[in-house]
Structure 1
Amino acid sequence: METKRTDKDILYKGIKTMGLTLVLMFLGPTLLYVAFSNEEKPLYIPLLIIGIFICGLAIYFAFKGLKTIMDSMFNKK
């Protein structure tokens, strides 16, 4: 009979992805705040685009990290 164990290497990879997600979750809204508080400056549009892109990346990496952690717990490779 096989015992179910967490694959620690895959779990570590998922935790690293969630760490990146945490950084992006703070960076994206910060850039959006800076962009919206300086609407008359020439860098308004580039900061807005970069901020929205980083927020999207944060969402993507959050789902990817959670999926990786779940795969490590339920032995799916």
Structure 2
Amino acid sequence: MLTIGYLNRAKNAPGLYEVYTTGDPYLVDLQLGTCECADYRYRDGPCKHLHRARFATGEHPIPANADQDRIDEKLGTCTEHDD
């Protein structure tokens, strides 16, 4: 599951979010539309972390044709992590 937070590197930084997956978090900058993950760097385009941050913050609406049963119920929330 992907969650987003703003406790560590993104704390008090407008537009910056940490997107947590099973490993270390990736820093997403919504103002620049970038992510530090390898997928973003090598594909030169939006990755799942960037999409997650955009959906979770409401910057982009969830597509109307998305399967509502498969959407994470916590998608619109930010969580803070202590680790």
- Could you tell me the TM-score, scaled by structure 1's length? 0.29
Greater per-residue strand proportion: 2
The higher relative CO (CA closer than 8 Å, separation ≥ 6) is in: 1
